[in-house]
Amino acid sequence: MSSFGPTVSASWLAEHLYDDDLVVVDSRWSLNDGPGRDAYAQAHIATAVFADLDLDLSAPPSVEAGRHPLPTPEAFADSMSRLGIGDSTRVVVYDDAAGLIAARLWWMLDVLDRQVAVLDGGLTAWTGPMATGPSESAPAKFSVTPWPANRVISKLDLAASLGQGVPILDARAPDRYANGGPVDPRPGHVPGAINAPAGANLGDGCFRDADELAAHYEALGADGDDVVAYCGSGVTACADLLGRRLAGLPDARLFVGSWSQWGADETLPTETGAG
């Protein structure tokens, strides 16, 4: 693997924006408004293509699998190929949430051993050239690669691990962790889960430095080599996975279905309150 990533600065991107082997991806999305395709059309980083979180980076939602299940390896390869991302392409992905949404595509490419980085600070940090309307890249060859089983955990395996000492991080905001929100199927969180809000990885609009992040996860009791992260639907939990990578900690596992899958299963236990 290259030393490229897991984040790059706006100054780095400005210097490399027109490199032949680089694709910039706009992954703006919000819980209230969904994919930021309209915002992308109005203004985006020059050369950037748009990845739709709901269509390109997820399978269709369902009660059984949650709001943002992983796409099949074939569907993901098709989406990446269409965006001009090949097996050896370097990818810089950004959002307008300081990287908390962009971390989803970072994680998806990273677990497949592709070269990818999040633009630290997101669109707010960018002062370089902008463009309007769509940007297109020539299709590229992205090989179909299975999602690695050791980087994810299923609902049933997570349920079986309860009480076994595996730290479980809930990346939702404290109020949703404690009591749920309008999009959550039930109030509360996975029993024993530790609240680790995705935003706690940030400081001054960028990811905190390695020492601060390492201290953050140590304080949570989640700095070991067997940790699980989840959120509402498997998106912002990836910011905890990115934060751990920046801290130099072992890679954690993602519970992709997250609370949208767990909470929808009335046979599974829940806890409420701040913990």
Q: Is residue 127 exposed (0-12), middle (13-18) or buried (19+ Cβ within 10 Å)?
A: exposed
- Determine how many CB atoms are found less than 10 A away from the CB of residue 112: 21
Q: CA-CA distance, 70 to 75, in Å (whole number)? A: 10
The active-site residue out of 10, 105, 231, 264 is: 231
Q: Name the DSSP letter for residue 6.
A: S
Whether residue 248 contacts residue 236, with contact meaning beta carbons closer than 8 Å, is answered with: no
Token readout for 273 is 């309150």
Q: Name the DSSP letter for residue 128.
A: S
Q: CA-CA distance, 77 to 8, in Å (whole number)? A: 24
What's the helix, strand, coil split of the chain in %, to 5?
Answer: 30, 15, 55
Instruction: Determine phi and psi for 217, rounding to 5 degrees.
Output: -75, -30
Q: CA-CA distance, 118 to 108, in Å (whole number)? A: 12
Q: Does the annotation mark 231 as catalytic?
A: yes
Active site residues: 231
